[in-house]
Amino acid sequence: MRSLPLIDLSVSSGRVQEIEKACRDIGFMNIVGHGISATTITQVRTAVIDYFELPMDIKLGDRISPDNYRGYIPSNFFSANSGGAVADNYEGYKLHFEVQSDHPVCSACDLYGPNKWPENPRHFKRHLLNYWHECDRVATVLLGALAEILGTARDPFLQLFATPLTNMTLLHYPPQTADASEYGIHPHKDTDALTILAPDPVGGLFVKCRDDDEWIKADPPNDALTVNIGDLLELWSGGYFVSTPHKVVNTGSAERYSFPYFAVPRYDTVVTPLRPPVPGFERAEIHVGDVSRAVWQSNWPDAAPIDERFDPAAFGGRQ
């Protein structure tokens, strides 16, 4: 496979089979017919660009901290947590599924809480939440199809994504050299269930082919979204689906901006194969809250993973 499959979500006939083949063969797909308007995507992209163009002292006022992985991530701040010591060449802003600090789930799991919403640019929060809700809708369609493929009931499976640990990362990649040791984001697999990305016209996302070491460009049509499955769905499928390494290399002359949406189940979900594992696939069950916390903490240079089972270098990569 030298290009990503293109799937029209507005066409019901054969859609589930096409999603199944994409998840089995490469773990990535470009989707059209998703119903997210070009205006919605343009508004959120403009909000992201406007934020990253703010003065540094303002952005640093929104900075993340080890006890609250929300807010501004300075450029070259995190080292690669799935191999290699060269920091990724991006600046970012982290948002999570939001609940107020007095919500009961905060007492059950310390990963929940309110986001840091910057005062500027204007309408930042409104445009981001509007796009987030649209991604929730698209994720529901895709997860419903995946439940059918996995042979499990749709509604109980979707309930695992109520009060979820779903999150978004807003990203700005400056142009970089062609040095093979430098990445916008290093090769990694996603640790979530499902990722939805509105691609940037600059490009730069590369996906590793399953049958060899070739990297292919993930460039989609203008009206498409790029979707990939993460390690949780690979485990749910018993290795039938593949969570595929990918990377970002921005060697062009333009700034690159993206805002991936990561669908993650509720914190107390335990992920174990829902169908017989494929031959040779062996992996322990995963507690979503535990692995999410381990990935979160591993971003800090002096923090070791909570449990070696959830070492991101073995399990997947950055979320």
Length of the chain: 319
pLDDT number for residue 67:
81
pLDDT number for residue 319:
44
pLDDT number for residue 79:
57
pLDDT in tens, the chain (319 residues): 578 999 999 998 999 999 999 999 999 999 999 999 999 999 999 999 999 999 999 999 999 988 888 999 998 776 554 445 567 889 999 999 999 999 999 999 999 999 999 999 999 999 999 999 999 999 999 999 999 999 999 999 999 999 999 999 999 999 877 665 678 888 889 999 999 999 888 888 999 987 777 898 888 888 999 999 999 999 999 999 999 999 988 877 789 999 999 999 999 999 999 999 999 999 999 999 999 988 887 777 665 544 454 444 444 444 4
The pTM assigned to this predicted structure is 0.92
Distance of CA 318 to the CA centre of its chain: 9
pLDDT number for residue 91:
94
CATH code that applies to domain 6-312: 2.60.120.330
Question: Exposed, middle or buried: residue 141 (CB in 10 Å: 0-12, 13-18, 19+)?
Answer: middle
pLDDT number for residue 87:
73
